[in-house]
Structure 1
Amino acid sequence: MTVETLATHRLHGGTLRYCRHASTSTGTPMKFTVWTPARDSQGGEGPFPYLVWLSGLTCTEDNFTVKSGAYEYAAKHGMAIVAPDTSPRGEGVADDPAYDLGQGAGFYVDATQAPWAPHFRMYSYVTKDLLEAVDGAFPLDPARRGIFGHSMGGHGALTIALRNPGLFNSVSAISPIVSPLNCPWGDKAMTAYLGAERAAWRAHDACALIEDGAGESFDEILIDQGLADSFLESQLKPELIEAAAAKAGRKVTVRRQEGYDHSYFFISTFIGEHVSWHAERL
């Protein structure tokens, strides 16, 4: 799979690249960033353990790359980070005027409903096309790969990891949507992309997946949630994943952070701890 490098920047001793490639899953060009360190934790030049970051509603590949401050911490641990766009884009790709549906709001599912089905296949994109592209083009170690994300991307990270423990060795999330079956964002997006039959949604609901025994190989899932988050009670509901984990005998750690909201100010405060947490497991 051919990867085109659009821009290159030196950052924290490593190299940040903005990239584009053709996705078979979405049928569109897709963009991502990849940061690789100069050395791994043992002083080697790779292949490097790496993390895939999934961003939230309205984001592109650029939001995390510019705002998170993650690369300083990744450099300390000799880890690479890949950050893809959140949806297909371009001429002929369906869209909606609302911020929480359509372009910028792919929800990391494979749509089955019109007009979304031809291009909105972000689950397949992340689990197949993206990994094939970066593993072939950069010095990354697919045997030491983790995934994390924020909000809609936290939902994506949790569900993709739980369904694919062979692809990912660790998973964490910041302010994730833990149960699309039980929140307005999920109800709107899943109905549009997957149809009104709610049984089809379970494969994209972290709480339901844990209840169904998915991803039992993960020793722990880490979640950070701000208590000043305006979406906490209506959309995010971390108590639901705690209850699902307790019932299933699984370890999910939800750290509730006083005074923090849903923004990148919150992400940038705790991103270093998430990178370190993954480094211990990779």
Structure 2
Amino acid sequence: MERVERHVCHDGYQEVWKHASPTLQCEMRFGIYLPSAALRGQPCPVLYWLSGLTCTEQNFITKSGAQRYAAEHGLIVVAPDTSPRGDEVADDPSYDVGKGAGFYVNATRQPWATHYRMYDYVVDELPALIEAQFPVTQARAISGHSMGGHGALTVALRNPARYRSVSAFSPIVAPSQVPWGEKAFTAYLGDDRQAWKDYDAVELVKAAAERLPLRIDQGGSDEFLDKQLKPELLRAACDAAGHPLELNLRSGYDHSYYFIASFIGEHISYHARALR
């Protein structure tokens, strides 16, 4: 590991680290916010944040304003990149497949399968690295935006014992039924739609054995709401399965980080209560 950035922020440090990832077979970066308690060596709970299409580890740490609230609650916040990176990593000319668009799946089709294993990276490798290198407790939460909201929901639904709480902004809740997901899943997983269900929150809710509550904030003026996001599909699935869901439709807000910055404090407070 090598630290490549450090900035004092709300009496803590916002850092960026790079490391060799055996899971993704490339060099990866992640942002980590360390509140003052962590700098004193006090173990802190961790909130993992998964970003959306075209993002890197930088978008959330520079635009969300999350550090202020993480400092107040004594949370470490970890924000990884959204895909494998490097000249040897397969890519696509479009923005919604390839670099910046890992979709938090384990790809099974070439040329993607060699490097695109973001699900294993988020669930196993990255937490193990964080827990070995930083003063953290075993209490974890997960959140994300858009493609990252999809990732947060599917990771938490498949691993409810690993996370105390989950939330999402503007998530792709049913990737098997919308253009973004259909394109990415066909590329990474092939044409077998049965395999897609492992990475689809609507499908996972139907079979969930545990009832980890889901919290979602969705902008009412989001330009992707009707075609790509379709939160009503998750509401219907949760109602049918009796799965707890808090779905907040925020009038006037769009898909941008202005929306995230407006409500990230509420989300971090939500996770802080669960992580105590």
TM-score grouping bracket, smaller chain normalisation: over 0.9
1:213 Cα deviation (Å)? 1.7
* Percent identity of paired positions between Structure 1 and Structure 2: 54
Match of 1:246 in 2: 239
Aligned-partner SS, 2:37: coil
1:20 equivalent in alignment to 2:15: no
Cα distance in 1 for partners of 2:41, 2:10 equals: 15
Residue-by-residue CA offset, 1:159-213 (whole Å, 9 max, x unaligned) = 0011111221110000000011110000000000000010000000001000012
1:272 equivalent in alignment to 2:270: no
State how many pairs are aligned.
Answer: 275
Cα distance in 2 for partners of 1:69, 1:279 equals: 16
Aligned-partner SS, 1:166: helix
1:46 Cα deviation (Å)? 1.9
Cα distance in 1 for partners of 2:160, 2:93 equals: 35
Residue number among 167, 185, 188 corresponding to 1:193 in the alignment: 188
1:217 Cα deviation (Å)? 4.0
Q: TM-score, normalised by structure 1?
A: 0.95
Cα distance in 1 for partners of 2:41, 2:127 equals: 20
1:93 Cα deviation (Å)? 0.5
Cα distance in 2 for partners of 1:210, 1:45 equals: 38
Match of 2:56 in 1: 60
Cα distance in 2 for partners of 1:7, 1:89 equals: 18
Q: Which runs of 5+ in 2 are unaligned?
A: none
Match of 2:216 in 1: 223
Match of 2:69 in 1: 73
* Runs of 4+, deviation exceeding 2 Å: none
Residue number among 63, 73, 90 corresponding to 1:94 in the alignment: 90
Residue number among 198, 202, 205 corresponding to 1:203 in the alignment: 198
Match of 1:83 in 2: 79
Residue-by-residue CA offset, 1:101-121 (whole Å, 9 max, x unaligned) = 100000000000011000000
> What residue identity is the alignment partner of 1:51?
L
Q: Which runs of 5+ in 1 are unaligned?
A: none
Native 8 Å contact 2:211 2:243 kept in 1: no
